């Protein structure tokens, strides 16, 4: 599916903490304490794309031909507040902490230790300010091997159960497999996170719909093993948009309401550096999908490509910069390894953007 017109909010500024100060207020951005005054309009006809920046007035009043309905719908979707996610208000950026459950080759403590370590790690992240814990037992890193379903269940279920009993943080499960979705939901998971946007497992759409849980739909091109070998796009920003819009429509057709969906442009998944930074620059575009957005750039390879940091543990500063780029464009969920550092950065950003420390209380 391809549209003829796409709207991207530009000229985004923090909404004043005191609304009385607002003179020209622009439009609110996706329920965030942000406003936008202009939009970039991309018009696409086949392989031809033209982009220009217009005021909100022009965006509303001009005749955009067969794109008119999409333009009006986009403006509405861009400015509407988002519903709560499993009870969590999405009126500011929320931190999702990453809990990887993969065998620890350095420990001979066995399977019990593996689960206990992951649970302890998750509890620490919640303490540090993660409001969502993302539990993953299948590495989907570029080049990673396939993990059989029994092994993935063995890794994630005890961790979901253990965390469910010990924290109020929301729990998401990072999986592409229908059976893992079902069993995780039964064990108390609150959110499904599928890097294949319910395309990898033919039964996943049904499992997701039956669970009734919110679902994160991530864009990826190709299979994790080979995806970064030769990714191809005609326009990466718009192609990712079309893909996510298509997946939202597929979910709606399967009976999953839009209010349960979250999108994610999938940094590092079938994307070269120039694709990743183009998407980072245009994140606000994806608010036109009318659902909350997640950004996952934490410790990813693009930081190494940009700044020569081969060891992922040394990529915290770059990860924080990426988190702030997301926050400034209204991203509602930031998926990170380094929760305390991200919280500190977001707090400084929020208070200074609003011009008031009161937004933190």
Q: Which CB atom, from 42 or from 294, has the smaller least distance to ligand 7PJ?
A: 294
Catalytic pick among 82, 177, 335, 343:
335
Smallest separation, CB 123 to ligand 7PJ (Å) = 20
Smallest separation, CB 40 to ligand 7PJ (Å) = 24
Q: Are 99 and 154 in contact (CB under 8 A)?
A: no
Q: Which CB atom, from 28 or from 312, has the smaller least distance to ligand 7PJ?
A: 312
Determine how many CB atoms are found less than 10 A away from the CB of residue 229.
10
* Alpha helices (H) along the chain: 56-61, 68-79, 110-128, 149-166, 178-186, 204-211, 236-253, 273-281, 301-307, 316-328, 339-354
* Residue 335 is among the residues annotated as catalytic for this protein: yes
285 forms beta bridges with: none
Q: Which CB atom, from 218 or from 238, has the smaller least distance to ligand 7PJ?
A: 218
Q: Are 178 and 206 in contact (CB under 8 A)?
A: yes
The two tokens of residue 177 are 């497999």
State how far the Cα of 197 lies from the Cα of 200, in Å rounded to an integer.
8
* Residue 155 is among the residues annotated as catalytic for this protein: no
Smallest separation, CB 136 to ligand 7PJ (Å) = 6
The gap from C-alpha 333 to its chain's centroid, in whole angstroms, comes to 6
Smallest separation, CB 218 to ligand 7PJ (Å) = 4
Catalytic pick among 3, 300, 301, 350:
300
Q: Which CB atom, from 40 or from 174, has the smaller least distance to ligand 7PJ?
A: 174
Q: Which residue is nearest to ligand 7PJ (CB)?
A: 296
Q: Which residues bind ligand 7PJ (CB under 6 A)?
A: 98, 140-141, 174, 193, 195, 216, 218, 264, 266-267, 294, 296, 300, 335
User: So which residues are the catalytic ones?
Assistant: 300, 335
């Amino acid at each position: 599916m391809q549209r003829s017109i796409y709207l991207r909010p530009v000229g985004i500024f923090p909404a004043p903490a005191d609304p009385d100060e607002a003179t020209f207020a622009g439009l609110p951005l996706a329920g965030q304490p942000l406003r936008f005054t202009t939009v970039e309009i991309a018009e696409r006809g086949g392989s031809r794309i033209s982009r220009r920046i217009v005021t909100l007035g022009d965006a509303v009043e001009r005749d955009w031909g067969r794109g008119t309905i999409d333009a009006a719908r986009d403006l509405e979707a861009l400015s509407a507040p988002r519903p709560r996610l499993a009870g969590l208000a999405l009126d500011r950026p929320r931190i999702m902490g990453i809990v990887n459950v993969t065998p620890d080759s350095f420990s001979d403590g066995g399977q019990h230790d593996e689960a206990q370590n992951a649970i302890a790690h998750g509890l620490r992240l919640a303490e540090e300010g993660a409001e969502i814990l993302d539990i993953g037992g299948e590495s989907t890193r570029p080049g990673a091997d396939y993990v059989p379903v029994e092994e993935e269940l063995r890794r994630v279920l005890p961790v979901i159960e253990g965390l469910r009993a010990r924290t109020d943080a929301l729990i998401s499960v990072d999986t592409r497999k229908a059976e893992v979705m079902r069993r995780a939901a039964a064990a108390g998971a609150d959110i499904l996170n599928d890097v294949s946007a319910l395309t990898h497992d033919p039964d996943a759409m049904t499992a997701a719909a039956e669970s009734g849980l919110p679902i994160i739909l991530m864009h990826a091109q190709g299979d994790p093993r080979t995806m970064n070998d030769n990714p191809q796009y005609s326009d990466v920003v718009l192609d990712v948009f079309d893909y996510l819009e298509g997946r939202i429509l597929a979910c709606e057709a399967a009976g999953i309401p839009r209010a349960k969906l979250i999108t994610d442009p999938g940094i590092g998944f079938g994307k070269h550096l120039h694709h990743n930074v183009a998407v980072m620059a245009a994140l606000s575009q994806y608010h036109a999908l009318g659902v909350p957005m997640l950004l996952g750039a934490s410790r990813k390879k693009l930081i190494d490509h940009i700044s020569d940091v081969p060891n992922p543990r040394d990529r915290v500063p770059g990860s924080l910069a990426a988190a702030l780029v997301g926050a400034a464009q209204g991203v509602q969920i930031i998926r990170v390894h380094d929760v305390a550092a991200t919280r500190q950065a977001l707090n400084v950003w929020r208070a200074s953007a609003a011009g008031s420390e009161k937004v933190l209380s």
